[in-house]
Amino acid sequence: MKSPWLVFALLVALAVGCSKSRMASEEASVDLANPAADTVEQARSTAAPSGAGGSNAAPPPAVRNRQLIRRLDVHIVVKNTEAAAQRLQELAAALGGFVSDLNASRSEGVLHYQMTVRVPAAQLDRAREEIRGIALRVEREQMSTEDVTDQYVDLSARMQSLQATETELRELLAESRERSRKVGDVMEIYRELTGVRTQIEQIQGQLNALQNLVGLSTIQLTLEPDAAGKPIAAGGWRPNETVRNAFGVLVGFLQGLVDLAIFLVVVALPVALVILIPILLLRKAWKRWGKAAHRADSSPGQV
* Per-residue pLDDT tens digits for 7-49: 444 444 444 444 444 444 444 333 433 444 444 454 444 444 4
If one compares 71 and 66, the residue with the highest pLDDT of the two is: 71
* Per-residue pLDDT tens digits for 109-130: 788 999 999 999 999 999 999 9
Looking only at the bridges linking them, the beta strands covering 137-147 and 68-78 are: antiparallel
139-171 CB burial, b ≥16 within 10 A, e <16: eeeeeeeeebeeebbebbbbbbbbbbbbebbee
* Per-residue pLDDT tens digits for 222-231: 999 987 666 5
pTM tops 0.75, yes or no: no
- The pLDDT-based confidence of 252 (bands split at 50, 70, 90) is confident
**pLDDT computed for residue 71 by the predictor:** 95
- Report the C-alpha gap between 84 and 77 in whole angstroms: 10
**pLDDT computed for residue 60 by the predictor:** 47
* Per-residue pLDDT tens digits for 40-66: 454 444 444 444 444 344 444 444 578
